[in-house]
Structure formats: structure tokens, C-alpha cells
Structure 1
Amino acid sequence: MPEVLIEAVQPGSPDTGAVAHYGDPVREQRTLEGAAGLVDRSHRGIIAIPGEDRLSWLHSLTTQHLTDLRPGEGSELLVLSPHGHVEHHAVLTDDGTTTWLDTEPGTAPALLDFLNRMRFLMRVEPADVTADWALLSLVGPEARIPGIELDPPKVAPVPGAKFASADVAPRPTTVYSTAPLPGGGWARRMAYGYDLLVPRSRVAAVADELAVPWAGIWAFEALRVAARRPRYRLETDHRTIPAEVGWTADAVHLDKGCYRGQETIARVHNLGRPPRRLVLLHLDGVSTDELPAPGTAVSTADGRDVGFVGTAVRHHELGMIALAIVKRNVGDDEQLRVGVSAAAIDIP
């Protein structure tokens, strides 16, 4: 089975180090969408945080309500700047003694540096363990882990503007069920299947036990884009606030008290008008069949820049599509351009 590394076909990709595909990216997409496949996402960063104060400490630093996170549960969190701009995104799991954060490739050192600067007298010992642990994703409607049954994710509804505190439970807004894996690590139930954190020495053994075909990061990304799931540093820039990309629902608790950037979160939620929004674009593919690079400008027919492309992919059914961030006042029927390609917003 030929492995094609992404740097061989997409130089400069944020997923450098991952396998782009195993010879047939279209078939791999169909496998993930209709059956089950395994995606190696071990290029993501892993931070382990043992210590008695880990959850209360993370609760005070991030957007998520974590003081009542139970052993065997996971969630998502953001670290914001003082002005409410997204500086880090992580998915987490707590096993009762350690909180594990998995982060975008290359961002673990900066996140660890921030956490260490915020330790003060807290009983926590954060460490970058990326060299020892690997994240795999078992994706698809037929995804199964022998001997493990986990509940689907629970996502609390986002309350309306100027809500009462009684309308928001003191729990994480998103809760992922998790379970330990034989041989070490854990499984976390996600909307697309399961994330598996395993020792790097056990990656091959876990793949043999699951007995499903491998699929490359191209296939995983194509399904992510079609599902409108943003990624930090691709669908975000230095000005991004959570409401622009939909993270208010997944990673932000709106009634957890003070944290860095909380004032911006509250103001935007109460006014209901973030300055930009995440959209799915259909690209015509007529003038060029080259995918636009991350950061390519999105413009109107008269040449006015209104946003930028995050991730562009070739989807096996939808063709050339891209996630983009555009100004709030861009209408759903606006005629747009991305480079030389015509583009149209997909209306959910």
C-alpha cells in the first residue's frame, strides 16, 4: 500500500508529517463516509497535565467550564487574548489523574509555554508528550472498537442573548465520552467516530486490532470541510473571535465567570453580530483545477476583498470546496471570486 506523505504533494502544508493518501484519496473518502477507516493524525501535539489542581486551573485560564468535568469525560477549550481573539484551541480528555490536550500541529510548544507561565503555586505539571503519544482517528458510520461502547457527544444548546444563569448548566458545553484502551491510552467518542490516543510503540498493533483500512489526511480533511468544522490557524487569523467560526457552541461556556477575553465573548453574544462568519464555498473549477492556498483572498465581483480562504479540498461528491471567513454583510447570494475561480456560498 503506497504511502504518499503530504509534503511530497503539498509543500508547506500545516499537516506536514502526515500521510496525504494511500494511493486512492477518492476511495478513502468514500470509505470514511460510508464505512470505517483509520487516519493517522499523530502529527498533532499532545500535552499531559497531571496534578490535583489541573481542572480548576484550566477552568480559570480557558473558555470552558471544567471544574465539574468527570473522570472519563472530554471536551474542547480555547485560550483567548485579553481582547477575546483565539490564541489556542485544544480537545481534551481527563482520565481521573491527568488531563490530556491534543492541539494543532506545531502549536503544543507555544501552548505549553503559556501554561507554564500561568502555573504560579498551582499543583500541576504540564509537559509536551508528543514524542511518546500518537493520535489516531477511527472515522465512519461503521466505526467500532471491540469491547468499548461510548455515548455520542453531548452539546448543550447556546442560550439566547441576555440569558439567565439558570439557563446554562455549570458543566462543559460539549462532553465527549471516553474509555481506557487495553495496552494504554484511551478512546474518545467524536461526531465523526473515535479519537484514539495510544503510545507510539502501539500504533501498528492498534491498527491490526481494528482491522480497518488506512485513509489519508486528505480524506479526513475533505469530510471536515464538508461538515464545516473549523481548524485553528487555518480558518482563523490573529483577529478571530470564537463566535465567527462557531466555537461558541463547542468550546465556550457563557456563564463560568471571569477569564481572559471574557468581556468580548459576552459583548458579541449579547449583541449577536460578530464581524465575520465561517462559510462553505463551492469553487467552479473551470478556470483552474488548482486548489487555492490557505489565506487566498475572497473578493466580490467588483474586486472588493471580503475575506480569506482557510482550507480548500476536492470532495468526492461536492467537487472543489473551501471553508472561508467572510465579512458578516456578505450575502448568501453574493457572486464571489477566489483567485481566478468563481465561488458561491453554500446555504445550509
Structure 2
Amino acid sequence: MSGDGATFAGVDGAVCDDLGLVHIGNPMREQQLLDSGAAVAPLGDRSVVTVTGPDRLSWLDSLTSQALTRLLPGESTELLVLDPQGHVEHAASVVDDGETTWLITDAGRLEALVTWLTRMRFRLRVEVADRSGDTAVVGGTASAVADLASSAVWRDPWPEVSIGGWGYATGEGHPGAGRDWAEAIVDREELRRLADEAVAGRRRIAGRWAADALRIAAWRPRADSEADGMTLPHEVDWLRTAVHLSKGCYRGQETVAKVHNLGHPPRRLVALQLDGSDAVLPEPGAIVRREGEEVGRVTSVARHFEQGPIALALVKRSVPIDADLIVDAGDDTVAAVQEVVVPPDAGRTAAPPRLPRLSRRT
């Protein structure tokens, strides 16, 4: 074990891996503590990139899905890096302090994101730095992370619809409504202090399993889970917080506009309430079936402290919203009831007039 995992190995009951703290024996209780603000979660699966220089915000604006030129110091948002066909390649949480733009991204995508950003600098006055060696990310409610010695704090805008964004999921009754989630960027010394306080019993902490369960319950997409190389932002309701629909050009914008205004995304995100009568849970990537036919794949799965076994899945747009679904779980199957996150009629917000068909003269 190395890195963040070694930092928290001394905490009583801690289960760690190379990315960090997984859980401390009772993920359900950890979820409750996180949700109430009584604990914080070291997120070893999150990494930090910084962009400095006077051109940093306009440069990021030109490359990504978010409008950043006028981002105020301390304001939180998020961005997507899309491929030319509009598929999600990277996602990053964004906060700027007036001198540095801090990006929080999934650890598994860090190297590729840094490489791509560095390649795109050209002659602009920007510098890109991988800060995973000297910083870490700690999550929790805004009040829970407020006393940490941090370089910056990002407050999750989800599920509010940001300026320039568009929400496909229901606004009223959205399970993420009122979600209080923030991520503090701390140095390694502060992370060690956090571990020492946990060992001494002066600080309650939770593992990343607990944090992920709260995310799944809020229908919150994440690149490592919901972006499979073919994911369009529309399919997972990411236009809500990560896309500005009326900003300037960027890679993939044409697809974003066409699908939103004239078409429909080919897949849609659903939340699954899984049958909990057995102890079996499907794995991410598990096949979702309707009447024996494959109609999608599970992207995220967890046991929630209130809802029980839950999952997010990407299914074909054509799957009826009331269809009975079955999810493969090893040699077994698990029954699932879907909740609509992105409705089948998402998109086609523009209604161009139909031209009358010209009949052939006789």
C-alpha cells in the first residue's frame, strides 16, 4: 500500500487501497455521518490540476463546454472536454482564486487530461501543472470542510441548472435537491493531520464508498463511471451544470447543439432501485436486460443507508419508462425498477417548421 492508502492505514477499522480510504467498517453509518456534516471523506480517487497565467480562463473557455471567461474568484462550476463527435472525454470541477484555476478530476484520467491541456497551450500565457503529488481532495458538506486548511474549496452546483445550462431531469422532487457537497483541496501535511485526528478520535471520517453512494442517490454523473467513451452530455443530464449552450465555439459543440435542438440522445440515464432480497449486487458494467434482450449497462452501484441497493445505468432511449428490467449479477440476476433521470423525449427543444411536401404534378 502506498500514497493516500498508507496515510489512513492506522485508523481503527480502516480498509485502504493505493488510492486511499475505502471505508472504515460500516459504509452505511459513514454515509449518514457524511450526509449530516459530522464527517469528511478523503477522496483518493480525485486529483488536482492547476492552470495559471493571465490567459487561463479565456483559454479554458475556448477548449471546454463551460463559459469561464467571467468566472469570479471563489465561484464554483464544472467543465467537460469533449471529442470532435461530442462524447465526454474528461470532466473537471472548477474554482478560481483570482490567480490560479483549480481543476479537480478523476485520478484515473489525470495524466491524459494534463497531457491534452499541455498540448493545447500553443503560445498563450498559461501553465498547466499536475498537483497530485502535493495536494489531496477531501469531501463533505460545506460546513464540514470549512475548517480544513485548504487552497480552494469547490461547492458542487448539482442539481441546480447553471446559467446557460439545461435540465432534462425533473426539477421538482429531484433527489439531489438541497444537496450540500463540497470538495476542499488540501496539502499533504493537512491530510496527515486529518489522519492523526481520526486516529486520536478527534475527527470523524468516512471512505470514498460512502461519498459515492451519496452521489449515486443524487443522480450525479461522474466521468470515471458514466463516461464510457460514447457518452453524450445529454444522456446523463450533464447539460444541467457542465455545459453552456450559448457560449462560443469549442470542440464537440456542433453535436451538443444538434442533439439538444433537433434530435434525441440515443441513450438515457436511469436510476435503478435493485431488489435487495438477496445479498447480490451487480458490478459496474453489468448488463441490463428487458425480456432477455440487452438494453443497457450499469454505470454505478451502491448500498444506500436509506434506499438500500441502488444503481445508475445507461439504457436505450427506446426502453419504456415502465418496463421491468433485470440486471446480470455474476451467475445470478437482480430485478430492478427504473426511475427516469433523462426522459425519452429529451432534446429537440427547437421546433423548426415542417415544409409541406410537394406533390408531383399529374
Within 2, Cα distance between the matches of 1:121 and 1:114? 15
Q: Among residues 203, 209, 214, which one is paired with 2:191 in the alignment?
A: 203
Report the Cα offset of residue 192 of structure 1.
Answer: 2.6
1:342 aligned to 2:341?
no
- 1:22-55 deviation per Cα after TM superposition (whole angstroms, max 9, x unaligned): 1221211121233421100133121111111111
1:268 maps onto 2:264 in alignment = no
Q: How many residues are matched?
A: 308
Output the CA distance in 1 between the equivalents of 2:263 and 2:203. Answer: 44
CA 1:157–1:125 in 2, change beyond 3 Å: closer, same or farther?
closer
Map 1:1-348 onto structure 2 (within 5 A).
1-5=12-16, 7=17, 17-139=19-141, 143=144, 145-146=146-147, 153=157, 155-156=161-162, 191-205=179-193, 208=197, 212-271=203-262, 273-286=264-277, 288-301=278-291, 303-339=292-328, 340-347=333-340
Change (3 A) 1:67 1:107: same
What displacement does 1:160 show? 7.4
Report the CA distance between 1:113 and its aligned residue.
0.8
Q: What amino acid does structure 1 have at the position aligned with 2:144? A: A
TM-score, length-scaled by structure 1: 0.81
Segments of 5+ residues of structure 1 without an aligned counterpart are: 8-15, 162-189
Which amino acid in structure 2 is aligned with residue 252 of structure 1? Answer: V
Letter in 1 for 2:64: T
Q: Which has the larger radius of gyration?
A: 2
Look up the SS of the partner of 1:273 in the other structure. Answer: coil
Task: Give SS of 2:223's match.
Answer: coil
- Report the secondary structure of 1:277's partner residue: strand
Give identity over the alignment, percent: 46
* Aligned residue type for 2:297: F
Instruction: Tell me how far 1:105 sits from its aligned partner.
Output: 1.6
Q: Deviations over 1:63-110 (max 9, x none)?
A: 000110112222100000001000000001111111111111221110
Contact map agreement 1:311 1:324 (CA 8 A) in 2: yes
CA RMSD of aligned residues (A): 2.7
- 1:73 and 1:159, CA in 2 relative to 1: closer, same or farther beyond 3 A? closer
Distance 1:114 1:30 in 2: 38
Choose 199-208 or 22-31, whichever is displaced more: 199-208
Query: Structure 1: how far apart are the matches of 2:94 and 2:155?
Result: 16
> 2:155, 2:183 within 8 Å by CA — same for their partners in 1?
no
Equivalent residues of 2:40, 2:144 under 8 A apart: no
Q: CA deviation at 1:152?
A: 8.4
Distance 1:244 1:132, change over 3 A: same
Q: Give the Cα separation in 1 of the matches to 2:314 and 2:144.
A: 32
Task: Give the 3 Å change call, closer, same or farther, for CA 158–150 of structure 1 in structure 2.
Answer: closer
Q: Deviations over 1:96-134 (max 9, x none)?
A: 111111111221110011111111101111011101001
